[in-house]
């Protein structure tokens, strides 16, 4: 019996599990305190009314033999046509043409971002931005892969540029970025697509936050960039857009023309998914399709506007304290400098103890995140206001 | 860029995708025909009323900010306590004591059966019964693992016995078995547990069909067997019991005392899941918990009785034709001999063309399945009756 010893290379707990444990420990020691969580990227607004209606309708479908649905339509990509077509329409608005067979419905971006690695050999070099969503690195370390990092720093606007001297095979990009909120413009994204096509690398493009982009000149999808269909897979989610963190739905686009060494990656992914996955709840898929209807998009836009207002409140508080930050414009995340030269975890403890506010230590997102801290706009107006009042009182001292 | 060349060792399509394609091709050529599907292990009865009520209630929870749920409770095994406790109660009825931290809620057994392999190195020998559910073998071939087979034949009652000369590290067992319907009794299961403990192997025990067991002396869970907590992981599903094939929920039990080479497998699985998975829909979890309530179990028993009646009808028809078969008692599957010395796929075509009935070729489940054919009891009474009438007319000729 050979155990996967690569697990030794991981922290005992995933970043957000560690934060959860730290907060619970604090609450046990301070039972009267109610820390406000601006840490996890978890939504708080209820689902849009049209999504609720669609989900109720789907539950009713499952209550009657005539309308009951079991496994999804066979030999597919686990998506019902009604949802695949909704995704196709969503992309069409950005000028991107997709076919049904290129869209794979899943239980969320995190699953696909990890599971896609089954398509590639262990001995590939993976390039991961630093800082970034920690699941990319952890999923690769777990598989024993070499991870190289592309530095996102104030100097490059937190948007790493391709380095011709790095021989990357698999490249993770996330735009709008988690945690920094930085967004690739067309020219910078084109540089990555060109680099990947020159090298024969594959880009795994995490577009989970695309709906937060408020400037129409910025690309929502990597497939708006020329040449991307030949080198990129795009991973999307209803979590942050339609508030599906607890409902679980995402989708991954694998262009039909994306091939490497004689393999069509879409066919491989279909084979992987039909072997190690069994599709997404019919109820969830009905809800997701409703989110992409005209009414759904209006209702979702209201929720996103709500979170944007929180981001504005956080920005205002940080500015008032004279703290440097980025993000919060095309993203629900604000990426702030830790004050007084504190490390990320020092500031985590300081903020929790003195202001009862929970954020995410930047170092959890990579070495370049040390000295930074992530705050999220996903809380309520009321909690965000109280948290910012406490933060302002603490840091203005 | 190194592609995972092991994909070349797989059939182009997963078994049930191939069958679906064959049936669609037949329907295109014969647009007036309506083949009856007794092929896929997919349920047809609507969800139990108490499950429907619970799911509606959960959707309503998501419609209000006060009761909204995002990501599952953090640092957990992706299960809400209400569902973990329902699973604990379910096991307690069989005399098995579990703790919350040992139960991992997932989107289904197929996902876990494949994803659990992330815990083990590539160079382990995997032992898979032949015939068996094809996802076990495919998931391992995909990862480049050596697969050895344990023969299930009429001589051993379709229940393979451990062979001391085979050096297995990871052992898949499925009881009641898919496709043969054979069930391990305590003594035979004890032999596997003893073998695994002697060798330091790990058993992945697929209990997806446990609720079909109608003889109380047979084990529903491997944890009813002495020593199993030291060597076994159990993978369970609500698909076949509560009709959740389209709702997606399962659970995997990793005993806290299960360790190999200094690793606690439960901790590794938690780390894998928190990195490459993000939990199961709150709506689904509410439905699953209701299925394990006293009322839920009564309602589910009615559905299982309905499918049992189908199995009886199929048994009767096969007996009337003088065709040998097993299964259908503790299982929704009947495993029949192909008539006239046909191969499995020959009989598939013959039955589809001449009786418009779709079943599953036994050879799709392994080399020992050649010459056999699987029929499922998951259709309606009406369709099952018509299918058996057609089958009887064809095979009595």
- B142–A260: do the CB atoms touch at under 8 Å? no
Show the CA angle centred on residue A388, arms to residues A379 and B74, nearest 5°. Answer: 35
Phi, psi of B202, deg, nearest 5: -120, 130
**Residue B24 touches chain A, beta carbons under 8 Å:** yes
Decide if pLDDT at A358 tops 80: yes
Average pLDDT over residues A355-370: 96
Chain B within 8 Å of A217 (Cβ-Cβ)? no
Cβ distance B261 to A3 less than 8 Å, yes or no, reads: yes
Q: Is the CB of residue B44 less than 8 Å away from at least one CB of chain A?
A: yes
Q: Choose among A10, A46, A200: nearest Cβ to B62.
A: A46
Pick the CATH number of A5-47+295-396 from 3.90.1150.10, 3.40.640.10, 3.40.50.2300, 3.90.600.10: 3.90.1150.10
The pLDDT tens digits of the residues spanning B62-96 come to 999 999 999 988 656 679 999 999 999 999 999 99
Q: End-to-end alpha-carbon separation of chain B, Å? A: 58
- Interchain proximity A75–B277, CB inside 8 Å: no
Interface ipTM: 0.96
The CATH fold assigned to B13-42+300-396 is 3.90.1150
pLDDT of residue A303: 95
Percent of chain A with pLDDT over 90: 92
**CA separation for the pair B248, B204 (Å, rounded):** 20
How far apart, in whole angstroms, are the C-alpha atoms of residue B169 and residue B186? Answer: 22
For chain A, domain boundaries: 5-47+295-396, 49-294
Q: pLDDT band for position A74 (50/70/90)?
A: low
Q: What is the pLDDT of residue B184?
A: 98
How many other C-beta atoms are found inside a 10 Å radius of the C-beta of residue A241?
Answer: 23
CB neighbourhood size of A279 (10 A): 28
A75 with B380: Cβ contact below 8 A: no
Residues of chain B with pLDDT under 70: 74-77, 397
Give the pLDDT of residue A226: 98
Domain covering A49-294 in this structure, CATH number: 3.40.640.10
CB contact under 8 A, B10 and A271: yes
- Contact yes or no for A75 and B120 at CB 8 A: no
Pull the structure tokens for residue A25: 């420990």
Angle separating helix axes B294-320 and B49-61, nearest 10 degrees: 130
Same fold, B13-42+300-396 and B49-292: no
For residue A146, report the phi and psi dihedrals to the nearest 5 degrees.
-80, 125
Residue A75 has pLDDT above 80, yes or no: no
Q: Mind listing the pLDDT tens digit for each residue in A216-245?
A: 999 999 999 999 999 999 999 999 999 999
- Does the distance separating the beta carbons of A271 and B4 come in below 8 Å? no
In chain B, which among 76-95 make CB contacts under 8 A with chain A? none
Contacts of B20 in chain A (CB under 8 A): 74-75
Q: Are strands B325-327 and B263-264 parallel, antiparallel or unpaired?
A: unpaired
Asked if the model's pLDDT at residue A13 lies above 90, the reply is: no
CA distance B224 to B229: 9
- Among B43, B246, B279, the residue with its CB nearest the CB of A248 is B279
- What is the per-residue DSSP string for B143-203? TT-EEEEEE--GGGTT-----TTS--SEEEEESS-TTT-----HHHHHHHHHHHHHHT-EE
- Find the residue in B nearest to A113 (Cα): B276
For the cut 60, the answer to whether the pLDDT of residue A29 exceeds it is: yes
State residue A245's pLDDT score. Answer: 96
Retrieve residue A76's tokens. 């597919």
Q: Please state the length of chain A.
A: 397
3-state SS assignment for residue B221: coil
Q: Which residue matches tokens 């290379």? A: A9
* Region A17-43 average pLDDT: 91
* Cβ separation A246–B282 shorter than 8 A: yes
Q: Domain B49-292 falls in which CATH fold?
A: 3.40.640
| Candidate from A75, A245, A272 with C-beta closest to B142 | A272
* Mode of pairing for the β-strands spanning B333-337 and B372-376: antiparallel
Mean pLDDT over the full length of chain A: 95
The answer to whether A35 contacts chain B (CB < 8 Å) is no
Tokens of B263: 């690793």
- Give the residue on A whose Cα is nearest the Cα of B3: A120
How far apart are the C-alpha atoms of B77 and B269, rounded to whole Å? Answer: 9
Which pLDDT score, from 0 to 100, does residue B74 have?
64
Half-sphere exposure of A72 (CA within 13 A, CB side): 26
A392 and A321 Cβ atoms separated by less than 8 Å: yes
How wide is the angle at C-alpha A167 spanned by C-alphas B115 and B277, nearest 5°? 20
């Amino acid at each position: 019996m050979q155990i996967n010893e690569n697990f030794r290379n991981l922290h005992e707990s995933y970043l957000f599990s560690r934060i959860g444990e730290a907060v619970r420990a604090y609450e046990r020691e301070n039972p009267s305190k109610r820390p406000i969580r601006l840490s996890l990227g978890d939504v708080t607004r209820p689902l849009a009314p049209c999504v609720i209606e669609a989900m109720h309708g789907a539950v009713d479908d499952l209550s009657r033999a005539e309308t009951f649905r079991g496994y999804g339509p066979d030999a597919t990509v686990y998506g019902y046509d009604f949802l695949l077509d909704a995704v196709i329409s969503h992309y069409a608005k950005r000028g991107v043409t997709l076919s049904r067979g290129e869209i794979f419905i899943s239980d969320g971006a995190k699953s696909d971002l990890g599971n896609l690695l089954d398509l590639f050999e262990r001995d590939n070099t993976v390039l991961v931005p630093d800082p970034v969503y920690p699941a990319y690195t952890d999923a690769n370390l777990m598989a024993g892969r070499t991870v190289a990092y592309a530095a996102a720093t104030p100097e490059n606007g937190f948007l790493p540029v391709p380095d011709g001297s790095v021989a990357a095979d698999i490249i993770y990009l996330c735009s709008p970025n988690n945690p920094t909120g930085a967004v690739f413009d067309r020219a910078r994204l084109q540089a990555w697509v060109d680099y990947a096509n020159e090298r024969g690398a594959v880009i795994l493009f995490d577009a989970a936050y695309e709906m937060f982009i408020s400037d129409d000149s910025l690309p929502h999808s990597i497939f708006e960039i020329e040449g991307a269909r030949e080198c990129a897979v795009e991973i999307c989610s209803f979590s942050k857009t339609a508030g599906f963190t607890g409902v679980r739905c995402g989708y991954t686009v694998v262009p039909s023309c994306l091939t490497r060494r004689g393999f069509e990656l879409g066919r491989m992914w279909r084979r992987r998914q039909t072997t190690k996955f069994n599709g997404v709840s019919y109820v969830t898929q009905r809800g997701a399709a409703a989110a992409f209807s005209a009414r759904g998009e209006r209702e979702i836009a209201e929720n996103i506007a709500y979170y944007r207002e929180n981001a504005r409140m956080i920005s205002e508080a940080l500015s008032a304290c004279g703290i440097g930050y980025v993000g919060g414009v095309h993203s629900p995340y604000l990426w702030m400098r830790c004050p007084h030269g504190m490390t990320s975890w020092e500031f985590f403890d300081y903020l929790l103890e003195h202001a009862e506010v929970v954020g995410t230590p930047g170092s959890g997102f990579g070495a370049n995140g040390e000295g930074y801290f992530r705050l999220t706009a996903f809380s309520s107006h009321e909690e965000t206001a109280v948290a910012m009042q406490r933060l302002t009182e603490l840091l203005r001292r």
